[in-house]
Amino acid sequence: MAKIMIQGTGSSVGKSILVAALCRIFTQDGYSVCPFKSQNMSLNSYITLDGKEMGRAQVLQAYAAGLQPEAYMNPILLKPTSDKKCQIIVNGKVYGNSTAMEYHNMKLQFRDMLKEQFEEMEKKFDIIVMEGAGSPAEINLRDRDIVNMGMAEIVDAPVLLAGDIDKGGVFASLAGTMVLFNEEEKKRVKGTIINKFRGDVEILKPGLTMLEDIIKIPCLGVIPYFHLALEDEDGAVEFNKRVTAPIDIAVVKLPHISNFTDLDSLKSEEDVSVRFIETVEEFGNPDLVIIPGSKNTIEDLLKLRKSGIEAYIKEYSKDGLVIGICGGYQMLGKIIKDPYGVETEVPEVEAMGLLDIDTVFEEEKVTTRVKAESIREFDVYKDEASTEKRKIDVYGYEIHMGICTYGEKARPLFKIIDKNGEEVCLQDGAVNNEENIMGSYIHGVFDGVHFREYVLNKIRSKKGMKTKKSYIYENLREKELDKLADIIRQNMNMKSIYNIMGMKK
């Protein structure tokens, strides 16, 4: 079994996408491959087929390797709830809540578990592609590290060190990182990668030669700056604020925004612009307002109220289209209660009152994969000249503590027919009588072609645009992963990487 680890000089240098690329390349070359990140900090999470929670970055990497995502690919997930506190997910289940110091003091207790799980993976796969987190040169964390050099040491993995030249200072960051490594750590680094390069590589080459002379490690690739319709790692997401296409979708950028990957399928539509708003001045006149998920729904709602955005949404909702997902769905209701202090010390707050639902936070988190269908039939695209009425299918996953109850004026939006592979018949979401305000607990609700197509064609018709069919998002993702693999193959010394892993190709 072979392994390779991508570490970076800092956050957002492109580690996640480089791991995804290597997973796809090794898979194309005929090997069984698995991604692995021992500890991830992210508010973008995903629910596996067996109802476990994991980071979204490893989900994309699993798809790149032709695998179904599994929690063992990301054994520890940290979900920040404030600047100093987080929820700890271990092997897909809630382990507890802690402060940063409390978690720092408990990290070493996970070392044996991580080693055992990795050894089990080694029995199943030809190659494991590992990802570090943040910077491996955080010398104050070295003695308790379980995600960068500490994890590489546990499993004896060679390391490639990536730097982001688009930020500037890439030579200093690579050389500086090497200076802060101890001698054993320096020996693990077998190559560097310059990522996100714009310009003529010939101009860069003298710098590469000088860097190699300084750190005595070869540069194995200069990766050009590119844009593909693939999920970004959390810290690398660019929250666009401009209208760039005919359909203007404004997403409220909540302070504790989570699972904003729900929007990626909308971004893939050619005539759709997804922008993020944080102030009333940025609101404009959008065709759709989306309130996304939140890791702290009550606090985020109160901040929307204080900023004036809530008042704008309520006024806009008289004629405009508003959709809430998970925490955003809860905000659209009448009241939110947190009797057990699950998210905040505020026990109860009045919500926006746009949907006739009440939410109560329970102590147990709901984590399920679901399939659902609309309660009623919608006008769905048939061809350029016509539509047909039929129920629409959706699929995705639930991650929430809240339970909603319906008032007299609330109608459920979907009927869940499958939860984690078991047949059920449950209500989800809500819609008002005018059908311009909707909400759902289902993350990924736009990934399925039918609901996305319905919502966008509703907007297109209102704007006098031609209606059209939407892409099957999964097919687009596969094509983009192949494009990613092609870019990395062309600009990375893959022969050297195979040699570093002790393999020939």
pLDDT tens-digit readout, 321-341: 999 999 999 999 999 999 998
Task: Supply the range of the domain harboring residue 447.
Answer: 239-472
Q: Output the pLDDT for position 83.
A: 79
325 vs 344, more confident: 325
CA dist 277 and 261 (Å) reads 16
Q: Output the pLDDT for position 43.
A: 87
Q: Do residue 355 and residue 215 come from a single domain?
A: no
Total domain count, the chain: 2
Distance from CA of residue 228 to its chain's centroid? 15
Interior CA angle at 81 toward 342 and 264, to 5°? 110
Q: Do residue 175 and residue 54 come from a single domain?
A: yes
- The type of residue at 31 is Y
Task: Give domain status of residue 211, yes or no.
Answer: yes
CA dist 282 and 444 (Å) reads 26
Q: Do residue 171 and residue 154 come from a single domain?
A: yes
Q: Is-contact 430 355, C-beta < 8 A?
A: yes
What's the sign of the alpha-carbon dihedral 301, 303, 309, 315? Answer: positive
Q: Which residues pair with 336 in a beta bridge?
A: 349, 359
Tell whether the model's pLDDT for residue 159 goes beyond 90: yes
The answer for residues whose C-beta is within 8 angstroms of residue 284's C-beta and 6 or more apart is 243, 248, 250, 277
Q: Do residue 372 and residue 313 come from a single domain?
A: yes
Tell whether the model's pLDDT for residue 54 goes beyond 90: yes
Closest CA relative to residue 11, chosen from 195, 181, 159: 195
Q: Output the pLDDT for position 390.
A: 87
Q: In what order do the strands lie in the sheet with 85-90?
A: 39-41, 76-80, 85-90, 93-99
The residues that are catalytic are 326, 443
Task: Give domain status of residue 502, yes or no.
Answer: no
Tell whether the model's pLDDT for residue 229 goes beyond 90: no
CA dist 337 and 116 (Å) reads 41
Tell whether the model's pLDDT for residue 225 goes beyond 80: yes
Task: Give domain status of residue 139, yes or no.
Answer: yes
Q: Do residue 344 and residue 361 come from a single domain?
A: yes
464-491 pLDDT per residue, tens: 999 998 988 889 899 999 999 999 999 9
CATH number at residue 75: 3.40.50.300
Q: Tell me the three-class secondary structure of 319-387, residue by residue.
A: CCCEEEECHHHHHCCCEEECCCCCCCCCCEEECCCCCCEEEEEEEEEEEEEEEEEECCCEEEEEECCEE
Q: Is-contact 274 267, C-beta < 8 A?
A: yes
Average pLDDT, the chain: 94
Q: Do residue 387 and residue 243 come from a single domain?
A: yes
What's the sign of the alpha-carbon dihedral 265, 8, 194, 197? Answer: positive
3-state secondary structure of 72: helix
137-144 mean pLDDT: 93
Phi, psi (degrees; rounded to nearest 5) at 230: -130, 155
Query: What's 393's DSSP letter?
Result: E
289-304 mean pLDDT: 96
CATH number at residue 444: 3.40.50.880
357-377 pLDDT per residue, tens: 999 999 889 999 999 999 988
Q: Do residue 280 and residue 208 come from a single domain?
A: no
pLDDT interval class at 232 (50, 70, 90) = low
Q: Output the pLDDT for position 154.
A: 97
191-204 mean pLDDT: 96
Q: Do residue 198 and residue 302 come from a single domain?
A: no
Q: Output the pLDDT for position 237.
A: 60
- The type of residue at 73 is M
Q: Output the pLDDT for position 492.
A: 98
Q: Output the pLDDT for position 169.
A: 96
Tell whether the model's pLDDT for residue 505 goes beyond 80: no
Q: Work out the widest C-alpha separation in the chain, in whole angstroms.
A: 74
Q: Output the pLDDT for position 81.
A: 82
Q: Do residue 291 and residue 386 come from a single domain?
A: yes
**Which secondary structure element, helix H or strand E, spans residue 61, and what is its range?**
helix 56-64
Q: Output the pLDDT for position 64.
A: 98
Tell whether the model's pLDDT for residue 221 goes beyond 80: yes
Q: Do residue 187 and residue 243 come from a single domain?
A: no
378 vs 275, more confident: 275
3-state secondary structure of 416: strand
Task: Give domain status of residue 21, yes or no.
Answer: yes
Task: Give domain status of residue 478, yes or no.
Answer: no
pTM higher than 0.75 for the full model? yes
The answer for residues whose C-beta is within 8 angstroms of residue 435's C-beta and 6 or more apart is none
Task: Give domain status of residue 60, yes or no.
Answer: yes
14-43 pLDDT per residue, tens: 999 999 999 999 999 999 999 999 999 998
CA dist 348 and 298 (Å) reads 8
Tell whether the model's pLDDT for residue 410 goes beyond 90: no
Tell whether the model's pLDDT for residue 381 goes beyond 80: no
Q: Output the pLDDT for position 327.
A: 97
292-299 mean pLDDT: 95
Q: Output the pLDDT for position 375.
A: 93
Tell whether the model's pLDDT for residue 235 goes beyond 60: no
Q: Output the pLDDT for position 479.
A: 95
Last residue of a domain, one of 230, 250, 265: 230
Q: Output the pLDDT for position 127.
A: 98
Task: Give domain status of residue 501, yes or no.
Answer: no
Tell whether the model's pLDDT for residue 240 goes beyond 60: yes
Q: Output the pLDDT for position 85.
A: 87
Q: Do residue 403 and residue 272 come from a single domain?
A: yes
Q: Is-contact 178 170, C-beta < 8 A?
A: no
3-state secondary structure of 9: coil
Task: Give domain status of residue 481, yes or no.
Answer: no
* Count of Cβ atoms closer than 10 Å to residue 255 Cβ: 14
Q: Do residue 314 and residue 216 come from a single domain?
A: no
pLDDT interval class at 386 (50, 70, 90) = confident
The answer for residues whose C-beta is within 8 angstroms of residue 434's C-beta and 6 or more apart is none
Tell whether the model's pLDDT for residue 234 goes beyond 60: no
Q: Is-contact 202 230, C-beta < 8 A?
A: no
Percent of the chain with pLDDT over 70: 98
pLDDT interval class at 90 (50, 70, 90) = very high
237-249 mean pLDDT: 88
